[in-house]
């Protein structure tokens, strides 16, 4: 020894490495089906782990499940998954207790996976509240659904790019989203988006987002969905507001609505009004808070 106090990193090179983060791994798995008497949908099996929970407020109509993230958001490297299995003739509405926040990351990518299986004649309304991406957020999300004959899926996803109240721009980030829907094992709907880098600048391009800062996709895969195209267009016109571009199209037995807006508030209101009219039912209570 030369008399100097040695650097701890010289004694243990691992000390130079940053401490490993403890990441969230939230999972829920739900199986639901109609009761033997009365036909009301009931919980058959439920499993929860990590910060993910399901709550079931009582009310008339379909069984309602509210997804809760007790971690308060999704941070870099977190993983969350939802697996739903609906027995034939089951009827379920799934929503979230609040907007999901995707926080900034210093590198790791968060992953969100939603996998749905609907038996013959089952119905699912997938109605989460919006997802908000913070600057430098990095997330990959996947939505997969397998429908039996006669099953019906109505799904909506709303995404805000940056916190509008703070005028936040996403100067760097990753948002990758993939939808895959199958009926009787056959792929009938596929949609993918990948925004990597200065997302706000990318969305400013006319061919990508035309300056929009929030987007929404609504998909109806059910018997008769394609025939409701004109009805959907009328509902969109009634819910229209300045600064929003929205359009509906239908093909191959399903209907899709897409919308772009300069902020999340007007887009959320349009989605809620359209969905209430399209379903003929009020939105889940958590949407009204």
Going from N- to C-terminal start, the domains of the chain cover 24-281
State the chain's mean pLDDT as an integer: 91
* pTM of the complete model: 0.90
Question: Tens digits of per-residue pLDDT, 27-54?
Answer: 999 999 998 766 799 999 999 999 999 9
- CA 76 from centroid of its chain's CA atoms: 17
Of residues 200 and 289, the one with the higher pLDDT is: 200
Distance CA 223, CA 134 (A): 38
Average pLDDT over residues 227-255: 95
Question: Is residue 3 scored above 70 in pLDDT?
Answer: no
Distance CA 139, CA 104 (A): 10
Question: Is residue 128 scored above 70 in pLDDT?
Answer: yes
pLDDT band at 1 (very low <50, low <70, confident <90, very high): very low
Of residues 164 and 227, the one with the higher pLDDT is: 227
- Residue 275 confidence (pLDDT): 97
């Amino acid at each position: 020894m030369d008399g100097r106090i040695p650097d701890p990193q010289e004694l243990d090179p691992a000390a130079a490495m940053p401490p490993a983060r403890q990441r969230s791994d939230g999972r829920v798995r739900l199986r639901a089906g109609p009761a033997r008497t009365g036909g009301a949908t009931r919980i058959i099996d439920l499993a929860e782990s990590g910060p993910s929970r399901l709550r079931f407020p009582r009310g008339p109509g379909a069984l309602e499940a509210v997804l809760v993230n007790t971690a308060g958001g999704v941070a870099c490297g977190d993983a969350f998954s939802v697996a739903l299995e609906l027995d034939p003739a089951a009827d379920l509405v799934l929503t979230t207790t609040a907007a999901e926040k995707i926080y900034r990351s210093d590198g790791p990518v968060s992953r969100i996976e939603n996998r749905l299986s609907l038996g013959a004649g089952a119905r699912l309304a997938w109605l989460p509240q919006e997802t908000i991406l913070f600057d430098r957020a990095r997330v990959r999300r996947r939505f997969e659904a397998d429908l039996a004959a006669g099953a019906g899926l109505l799904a909506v996803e709303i995404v805000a790019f940056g916190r509008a109240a703070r005028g936040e721009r996403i100067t760097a980030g990753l948002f990758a989203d993939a939808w895959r829907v199958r009926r009787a094992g056959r792929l009938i709907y596929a949609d993918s988006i990948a925004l990597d880098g200065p997302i706000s600048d990318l969305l400013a391009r006319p061919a990508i987002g035309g300056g929009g800062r929030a987007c929404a996709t609504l998909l109806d895969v059910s018997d008769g969905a394609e025939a409701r195209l004109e009805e959907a267009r009328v509902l969109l016109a009634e819910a229209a507001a300045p600064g929003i571009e929205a359009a509906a199209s239908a093909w191959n037995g399903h209907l899709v609505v897409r919308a772009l807006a300069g902020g999340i508030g007007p887009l959320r209101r349009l989605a809620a009004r359209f969905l209430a009219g399209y379903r003929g039912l009020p939105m889940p209570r958590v949407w009204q808070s």
